[in-house]
Structure 1
Amino acid sequence: MYLTRFRFNTARTGARRLLTSPQILHAAVMQSFANVPALPDGNSPRVLWRLDRNANNQVLLYIVSPDRPDLTHIVEQAGWPTTGSWDSFAYAPFLDKLTAGDIWTFRLTANPVHSIRTRDGEPTKRTAHITVRHQLGWLLKQQERAGFTICEQPKELPRPTDMDEYQVVVHDRRSLDFTKKDPARSSKINNVQILTVTYDGRLRIDDPDKVRAVLTTGLGKAKAYGCGLMTLAPAQ
């Protein structure tokens, strides 16, 4: 497994093209591998990616993948071809040292959704959580299955609402709207709408194996479009 980081040169036309279309960026990421990655079965490592738009106007692309990627084509389109590059790190040593009880800061961009049924007898429909409260609730519901617990705020700090109970911030809400060809009917174009949010916070590892699975297979839906990739960093 590899963790890769690349910085976009946002002044370039190619960068703007990639950053405004999750479908085009997904294709560019997948083209970074000489051998086409096998289709994931839900339990095996897969190619995950995420865009981080930082406060200093840096836009970073993170990729977690079973194989080391070659981002030459992305550098040529959207980076600094003569002075810029990308960094890839072996991920296994980091994953192997995860231990129950450890505290980490985390970042996750996800597509928090739930299934609803408007009428009895109708099939359920996947719908995005719109409010911050429900988006946080979605993350809290993932905890047990994902093997971690979101840290609570220290008891001495005020908690005006239940939203202030946890050490997590929900931000950077974005609506992605694009078209996609129907693989079953090549002439049909589907309109796709995906709501994404980013979570920054602190967590405690309860089950290291489950957390390793989340870090390598993703969390939630819309993984092909920049969702599901969680990264950890040492807690301050």
Structure 2
Amino acid sequence: MPATLTRIILNRHHRRACNDLAYRPGLHKTMMRLLPHPDGPHPRKAGGLLFRLDPGLDPVLLVQTADTPHLAGLPDGYGDITTRDLTPILTGLTPHLPVRYRITAAPVVSRSADAVPHPVTGRLRGKLTPLTGPDAIAWWQRRAPAAGLHLTSLPAATPCPFPSPRPGPYERLTQFDGTATISEPALLDTAIREGIGRGKAYGAGLLTLTPG
């Protein structure tokens, strides 16, 4: 299966880009315009859309899609855009290969003490609580092996500001950076293509690798 990574250096003087930086649901809608065929009940998932905002003096958006992105769907002047085929990276995943990784994720836990019955099934549903600090790091240390990574350094965890006065549990994002070796290439391939964790519509879940 193909996959493409698009890098967008946002134009801070572009009205839509500025609005998207200030409002994540709007950013999600703009990114959906990159899908050439947004069909079905779950078009984001079907199109393999994942994105991440790397903040800085010139904010950078990384956008992953299953197919070649529909760049004409973006407003003129939105940013400086480049794309690359991820096939060489995905086919080059081999056991014990050292890598550096980055992922912005939405670490959450279901607190069973606050559980309430589902109105239809009767199953107990805990309250989703965002994790921060050491708890967030522990969350990633648990998730990484299931994604085919053996962590070789303590992850650096950086809270990501979210432009919302009352962000929900999926909107409290943390950026994790560190080193690892590949333990299970098939699991890692799936994690890269499908993303990790919740909050993918808010810019969470996209895992990127560089040779370590």
Normalised by the length of structure 1, the TM-score is 0.77
Alignment of 1:1-236 (within 5 A): 1-38=3-40, 39=42, 46-54=48-56, 57-76=57-76, 78-79=78-79, 84=80, 86-119=81-114, 123-130=125-132, 132-152=133-153, 166=154, 168-177=155-164, 192=168, 194-235=171-212
* Structure 2, unaligned runs of 5 or more: 118-124
Deviations 1:162-204 (A, max 9, x none): xxxx2x211143245389xxxxxxxxxxx84520010111111
The answer to whether the 8 A contact 1:21-1:178 is kept is no
Give the secondary structure class of the aligned counterpart of 1:118: strand
Deviations 1:129-158 (A, max 9, x none): 13x100100000112211111113xxxxxx
Cα pair distance change 1:40/1:208, threshold 3 Å: farther
Cα pair distance change 1:50/1:41, threshold 3 Å: closer
What is the CA–CA distance in structure 2 between the aligned matches of 1:76 and 1:52, rounded to whole Å?
21
Q: Cα RMSD between the aligned structures?
A: 2.4
State how many pairs are aligned.
Answer: 201
Amino acid paired to 1:105: R
Deviation at 1:119, TM superposition (A): 4.6
What is the CA–CA distance in structure 2 between the aligned matches of 1:102 and 1:198, rounded to whole Å?
22
Amino acid paired to 1:65: T
What is the CA–CA distance in structure 2 between the aligned matches of 1:33 and 1:13, rounded to whole Å?
22
The aligned residue for residue 120 of structure 2 is: none
Deviations 1:24-47 (A, max 9, x none): 1111111122311553798x7721
* Structure 1, unaligned runs of 5 or more: 153-165, 180-190
Give the secondary structure class of the aligned counterpart of 1:177: coil
Amino acid paired to 1:109: T
The answer to whether the 8 A contact 1:45-1:217 is kept is no
The answer to whether the 8 A contact 2:114-2:126 is kept is no
What is the CA–CA distance in structure 1 between the aligned matches of 2:28 and 2:115, rounded to whole Å?
37
Give the secondary structure class of the aligned counterpart of 2:74: helix
Deviation at 1:229, TM superposition (A): 0.2
Cα pair distance change 1:149/1:18, threshold 3 Å: same
The answer to whether the 8 A contact 2:115-2:127 is kept is no
What is the CA–CA distance in structure 1 between the aligned matches of 2:160 and 2:27, rounded to whole Å?
19
**Structure number, greater radius of gyration:** 1
